[in-house]
Amino acid sequence: MAKLDFSPIADTTRRAEIVALLRRAILTGQLEPGQKLNELRISEQMRVSRAPLREAMRELVQEGILTSIPYAGTFVIDVTAKDIIDAYSLNKVLDEFAIELAWPQRDQRFFDELDRRHEAVKQATRALDTTRQIETALQLHGLIYEWADNSVLLETWQRLTSRLQMYFALHQRARNEPVPAEDVHETYVALLKGADMRAAQRHAREHIDLDFEELLGYARGLEKRASKN
Amino acid sequence: MAKLDFSPIADTTRRAEIVALLRRAILTGQLEPGQKLNELRISEQMRVSRAPLREAMRELVQEGILTSIPYAGTFVIDVTAKDIIDAYSLNKVLDEFAIELAWPQRDQRFFDELDRRHEAVKQATRALDTTRQIETALQLHGLIYEWADNSVLLETWQRLTSRLQMYFALHQRARNEPVPAEDVHETYVALLKGADMRAAQRHAREHIDLDFEELLGYARGLEKRASKN
DNA sequence: TCTTGTTAGATTGTCGACAATCTGCTTGTC
DNA sequence: GACAAGCAGATTGTCGACAATCTAACAAGA
């Protein structure tokens, strides 16, 4: 018996593809917060019937990036400053926990993967591909969750990540400057390779606070705009 | 203008009702882990078409209590010992965080609600209604999350709660003894009313460990049964 | 006997049409 | 002009039927 292990083949339902398409559109900000999703229009554009589209939308509602009001419609979630604050403060707590769990699990594969993902971030940064930069940075960040070996924690983080990615994308869209070219993850990666777990946890916390400051500025702008309506 | 605030009227879509029915069936253990949900059979029993049923099932898949394999079917999630351990260890972390956030928010309404929910648990216990006892105990537990004023945290806990409720129900079903009549929440409630936040956090952690021991016994049984297949 | 190909039945995925509900406009009344 | 009633169009919710896929039983061949 050959020891080759195959990866599961791709889901080939329309529903799964629609979910992927919609999620991407939302997380990259192509669909704006609060925007209504017209079922007929979207199903025609995608050349599918409304049934799989609606099922896909139900999934994204549960995923927390769409919201649905019976007989009124399904909308991209609104983003408030408080949402961003809430997501970030929870993220801090989860990060600390994930590092604690992942710490004794670190092995060569972990370090290799860490470098690989770090490299992906740097490459996206050099290419000035902001969307990909956000994606890869979150994937780098997610490594500790994958190594924590706690399925519920991983699932929770993936849900949270969706929102964070959306927030960052909106933030990037709002300010039309290029992204910072410097590498903010160098220290983080080094600490995860080191021997001082507490230091890694502390840095994760502070590192988050850094990006957080930027996002908060954007969030405050949102609040102002909202209050005018 | 009268200051009366109305609660939202009930969702009147079949989909919402189906979700509630199915969730209840799963969380009370009427639908067993691993069991397949036959769409045609269920839709006929409920006298609805498959469309709203399928949408409801997609929601529950995202909610984490169903799992779906394309063209094969949708199944109640399997429960392994590790799942229970994972859920509990995350719950500990979230509890600590929730208490920290809720602590300064405690007001008279909080204390009243605390007593009310505590009373509901005691009543269910006296009535030997195990299902309701689990429900009310989790609702009592959820109060700190509602007062923490962090929407993402609350949402996360509600997802986690679904599973915990399912685990407890399975546990109760497995052992055919009546539930303990003593009140294990007395100290918890008292500490939440007190002034020592750290003590409350510590107790939440230990209190969880208590129930956890019981559940683990059940989980180990599951593992043994699974290994025989 | 084991493997492979075939087929029938059951089940899931998708479609197009109809029913229920909402929204905004128009009309009529005061 | 203000306001309520009612109508028309658009959109969401639901249905029944068909297509795609899987499963299991059976047959054929090595």
Cβ atoms within 10 Å of B13's Cβ, excluding its own = 15
> For A65-106, what is each residue's pLDDT tens digit?
999 999 999 999 998 889 999 999 999 999 999 999 999 999
Bases of chain C within 7 A of a CB of the protein: 11-17, 20-23
Return the CATH fold of A81-228. Answer: Four Helix Bundle (Hemerythrin (Met), subunit A) (1.20.120)
CA distance A122 to A136: 9
- The residue behind tokens 């490594």 is A143
Nearest chain B residue (CA) to A155: B64
CA distance A220 to B32: 48
Residue A74 CA and nucleotide D12 C1' are separated, in Å, by: 10
Highest mean pLDDT among A134-143, A172-181, B123-132: A134-143
- The residue behind tokens 């409801």 is B56
CA distance B91 to B84: 10
What are the strands of the beta sheet with B36-37, ordered from one edge?
B36-37, B73-76, B66-69
Strands B73-76 and A73-76: unpaired
B81-227 matches B14-76 in CATH topology: no
Between A124 and B3, where is the model more confident?
A: A124
Residue A163 in contact with residue A69, Cβ under 8 Å? no
* Best B9, B15, B84, B90 residue to mutate vs chain A (most A CBs within 10 Å): B90
In Å, how far is B216's CA from the nearest CA of chain A?
16
Among B216, B228, B190, which residue's Cα sits nearest to residue B80?
A: B216
The CATH classification number of A14-76 equals 1.10.10.10
Amino acid letter, A45 = Q
* Residue B145 scores a pLDDT above 80: yes
Confidence band, pLDDT 50/70/90 cuts, at residue A181:
low
Across the range A183-195, mean pLDDT stands at: 90
In Å, how far is B2's CA from the nearest CA of chain A?
24
Give the three-state DSSP class for A37.
Answer: strand
**Rg, Å, chain A Cα set:** 19
> Can you list the alpha helix ranges (DSSP code H) found in A28-129?
39-46, 50-63, 81-102, 108-126
Q: Do A152 and B82 touch (CB under 8 A)?
A: no
User: What are the extents of the domains in chain B?
Assistant: 14-76, 81-227
Is CATH 1.20.120.530 the right assignment for the domain spanning B81-227?
A: yes
